[in-house]
Each structure stands twice: as C-alpha cells, then as structure tokens.
Structure 1
Amino acid sequence: MTGSRTPRASAFAGLRPLVADTRTQAPGGPRPDGIPLDPLQQIGRRREQPRPGERCEMCDEPVGAGHGHVADLENHRLLCTCRGCYLLFTGQGAGGLRYRAVPTQVRRVAAFTLTPGGWDRLQVPVDLAFFFRQSGVGHVVGCYPGPGGATESTLELDAWAEVEAANPALAEVAVDVEAALVRRREGAFECFVVPIDACYELVGLVRSHWTGFAGGAEVWAQIEVFFDRLRERSAVGPGG
C-alpha cells in the first residue's frame, strides 16, 4: 500500500478509536454510560482515580482503583469493569465480535529498529506517537499527543509496513486493544507494546501538564515518569 492521507486534527472525522470513559459517579447517583468516541478530544481528559460510588458498566457492581477495561467494539468505547466481568472476555473468542478485555501487559520491543528518515516518513512532528489497528479500518492509525489532545498523523501507509518488517514483534500487537508506543529521545528510539488505554492516559497527562509553546519542564518530567513505569512493567521476550 502506498500514498498518504490528508492531515486530520483531534476530531478524527470518520474514525473512532477506543477510549476509556473518564467520568465518575457520585455516591447514590445514576450509573454512567460509556462515552462515545466522537469527538476525539474525549481522550485528552485526564482520568481521575475512581471515586466512591463508581460502578462496573456491565453489572453495576462497585469498582475500585486499578479496575480493568473491556472494549465495546460495536460502539467503539471502553467500559470500566469489575474483575468478574473483565475475566469473562479475556479468553480467545469470548464475547464474539462485541467485547474484548484490554490486556494489562506491557512489552518492550527489543532492539527496536527505526531510522530518523523512517520516523520522518511517519509524519510525526514530535518525539512521541502510538500506532494501532482497529476493526473495520483498513490501515494503521498513528496518533501523537499535544496540548489539545491527540492528533492523527498523515501516516504513509507503506511507511508503517516498513517499520513492522524491520521489527517482527509488532505483528503481535492485538487489534483494537493494544498499540505500539514509540518515543524518540536524543536520536535513539524505543518502543513498547502497551494496552490501548495506556496511550490515552499518556494523552491526558500531556494535555493536563502542558504549558507554553514547548510544554514546560513539568510535562516532560511527567512523561519521563510514565516511561519509567512502562520499563518497570515490561518484560522482554523472544523478538520483543
């Protein structure tokens, strides 16, 4: 596949990537429904820690901090779930084509290969981006965070194919629920395969802490902490 697409800002016209529901519920209040994913600016909201009264969006049981997410593929959203409901959709084929549990594992891609020229071809103007596949979309989506939320890159379709060819571990990125998160730092690149909700956590972090033209020291300190946590959680296996 070759060619490029017209740049699209954070609304992602016609494209609705999965995103966690950032709302919470006051004690005794009604159970919230999942947030639909248009506009994309929803993903820029910083997710708060669950408050007392927040409930599973499947069975209405209370959920606490660190609860799991289940992807509702039909409605293109993430659902906050209790442990029991989450486990229902972790098996291969569980939930059919409707629901899929978002994994929690983080995998660092060993010896990740990408050149500065290859990065330029991905049309990412900053040093941070994530790439994922979504059911029903015939190409890889590339996004990068900024002060206004997430922006889709004008990704050349064959450019990402070259990255995948050079890094076979990227073939294992699960459709809909995982992404390849790539960072350039001091001329070197590192890549992690992460749960899709981690990408939106990063987008919210950048949006919340960004100041001025270049972001300010605070946002870069927060990004560093975020990647330190990824390194602690990651396990390098054969090929990635």
Structure 2
Amino acid sequence: MLRFAAPRPPREERCELCGARLADERHRHLVDTEKRALACACDPCAQLLDRSGGPAGRFRTVPGRCLSDPAHRLDEQAWERLAIPVGVAFFFRNSALDRLVALYPSPAGATESELEPDAWQSVLGGSPLSGLLEPDVEALLLRRHEGTVELYLVPVDLCYELVGRMRLRWQGFDGGAEARADLDAFFTRVRGLARDVRGPEGSRA
C-alpha cells in the first residue's frame, strides 16, 4: 500500500531577535551592519534596536518608502558607463566600507559589480534620489528595458526579495520566460508603490 506523507504546514516565521511569532507577512526587517545581513523582526524589537536616530548599536530598521524619478536623464549610454552586465542592478551605500556597492541578480544570488566612483557620480549623481539614499537600508534600483532605464529608491529588503525570486526561477543563459515574467510583475508592483520624488508627495518623504 502506498503511503503519502501529509503536506507540511508553511514554516512559521519568527522574530530572529526574541523568537516572537510574526503574524504579518510584511513584517519589519533590520540590517545587521556588522554581519551585513537582514534579520526578520517584530515591531518591539525593531523599535528597540533601531539606531537610525543615533550612532550607537549595529542594527538599522529598513524603512518602507519607495520613490521614483521619471524625469531622470539616464539612457543607454549612461547605463554602459556603469558596466553592469545585465539589465537590472541596485546600489546601496555600505557604511562599514564607506562606499557605494553595486549588485545585480544572478543564478548564484546577489553578484557584486565593480563600480567606478566617477561613473556613479556622472550617471546617478544628477537625480535627487541619490541625495535621499539612506546608508545600508535603502537602495537605488535600476532596470534597463526596451530602450529606457527606470530608477527607484526602495527598501533594501525589496532588492534582496528580487534576488531570491530570480535565483529560484532562473533557467538557461538569459533566465528564461518564467524569470522574465516574474521580473515584469515585480517592477509593476514597484511602480504601483513608488511616488514621484519631484512631486508634492515625494518632497515630503
């Protein structure tokens, strides 16, 4: 007689700091600036350990804002100066290294790309998003697609969500149809979340 194992219930997510159950799928995240890692957190731990308002401690709460800059002047030539080998990349300022880090999704996960300071300044420095970028917890997310370049300021955990999704669905040399469809869906979601940084709502972010 064949016996079938009962389906396993989904893994219960818990705060990685106190062990409390996390009921909300959109729970908070903290960046551990020493280990360079993201940690799931409940609201009390996030508020207790966040050091955004001061220099003490190693944890920073990932904010939730998402901004766009439709008026930026990035084009195909500007993208080439960044020397990113794929069509999606994100940039964040690593406070421990005191420099900008460029990463892009790949079958192996987040892959770092060498970034020349001059290229960063000339290509991305003209957008107001660059001046708003919070170290460690926010990223500039770019996508080159169909002759245009989209530019967003997003929570850094959103970028690592994209990395995980691409790693899970990537097939073959170019990712495959499933990965491309998921990428399109991801950026549709980002567009829906983002506010124009040059508009009245974005200026209050």
TM-score normalized by structure 2? 0.85
Code of the aligned partner of 2:19: D
Is 1:62 paired with 2:21?
yes
Aligned residues: CA RMSD: 2.2
Report the Cα distance in structure 2 between the residues aligned to 1:187 and 1:103, rounded to whole angstroms.
31
Q: Which structure: greater strand fraction?
A: 2
Q: Deviations over 1:171-193 (max 9, x none)?
A: 11110000000001111111111
Q: Is the 8 A contact 2:34 2:58 kept in 1?
A: yes
Instruction: From 64, 88, 95, give the equivalent of 2:48.
Output: 88
Q: Is the 8 A contact 2:62 2:155 kept in 1?
A: yes
Once the two structures are TM-superposed, the CA of residue 60 in structure 1 deviates from its matched residue by 1.9
Code of the aligned partner of 1:93: G
Code of the aligned partner of 1:161: Q
Q: Deviations over 1:71-126 (max 9, x none)?
A: 12123222111122223356742572411100122111231221322211211011
Matches within 5 A, 1:28-43: none
5+ residue gaps, structure 1, are 1-25, 28-49
Instruction: From 18, 27, 31, give the equivalent of 1:71.
Output: 31
Q: Aligned residue for 2:193?
A: 233
5+ residue gaps, structure 2, are 1-7
Is 1:150 paired with 2:141?
no
**How many residues align structurally?**
192
Instruction: From 129, 154, 162, give the equivalent of 1:169.
Output: 129
Secondary structure of the corresponding residue to residue 75 of structure 1 = coil
Q: Which structure: greater helix fraction?
A: 2
Moved segments of 4+, more than 6 Å: none
Q: Which of structures 1 and 2 has the larger relative contact order (alpha carbons within 8 angstroms, sep 6+)?
A: 1
Secondary structure of the corresponding residue to residue 184 of structure 1 = strand
Q: Is the 8 A contact 1:147 1:210 kept in 2?
A: yes
Q: Aligned residue for 2:155?
A: 195
Once the two structures are TM-superposed, the CA of residue 141 in structure 1 deviates from its matched residue by 0.9
TM-score normalized by structure 1? 0.73
Is 1:108 paired with 2:63?
no
**Sequence identity of aligned pairs in percent?**
44
Q: Structure 1 pair 82/218, CA: closer, same or farther in 2 (3 Å)?
A: same
